[in-house]
Structure 1
Amino acid sequence: MEKFEQYERVFSHFDSDGDGRISPEELRQCVASIGGDMAAAEAEAAVALTDSDGDGLLSLEDFVKVVEGAGEDEKQSDLKAAFELYAPEGSACITPESLKRMLSRLGQRRSVHDCKNMIASFDLNGDGVLNFDEFKIMMTC
Structure 2
Amino acid sequence: MDDEVRKIFNKFDKNGDGKISCEELKKMLLTLDSKTTSKEIKRIMAEIDKNGDGYIDLNEFADFHHHSPGGGGDRTVAADARELRDAFDLYDLDKNGLISATELHAVLRKLGEKGSLSDCRKIISSVDADGDGNVNFEEFKRMMTRA
TM-score greater than 0.5 by the shorter chain: yes
TM-score by length of 2: 0.56
* RMSD across aligned positions (CA): 3.4
Pair 1:117 & 2:122 matched: yes
Aligned length: 101
Does residue 130 (structure 1) correspond to residue 135 (structure 2)? The answer is yes
Shift of residue 77 of structure 1? 0.3
- CA change 1:69–1:113 in 2 (3 A) is farther
Of 104, 108, 126, which residue of structure 1 is paired with 2:109?
Answer: 104
Q: Alignment partner of 2:2: what SS?
A: helix
User: Displacement of 1:40 after TM fit?
Assistant: 8.3
* Residues 1:101 and 1:93: Cα distance change in structure 2 (over 3 Å): same
What is the alpha-carbon distance in structure 2 between the residues aligned to residue 79 and residue 112 of structure 1? 24
Find the counterpart in structure 1 of residue 41 from structure 2: none
CA offset at residue 70 of structure 1?
Answer: 2.2
Q: TM-score, normalised by structure 1?
A: 0.58
CA distance in 2, matches of 1:73, 1:112: 34
Stretches of structure 2 lacking an aligned partner (at least 5 in a row):
13-19, 30-44, 51-55, 68-72
Which runs of no fewer than 5 residues in structure 1 stay unpaired?
A: 1-29, 33-37
Q: How many Å apart are 1:60 and its aligned residue? A: 3.1
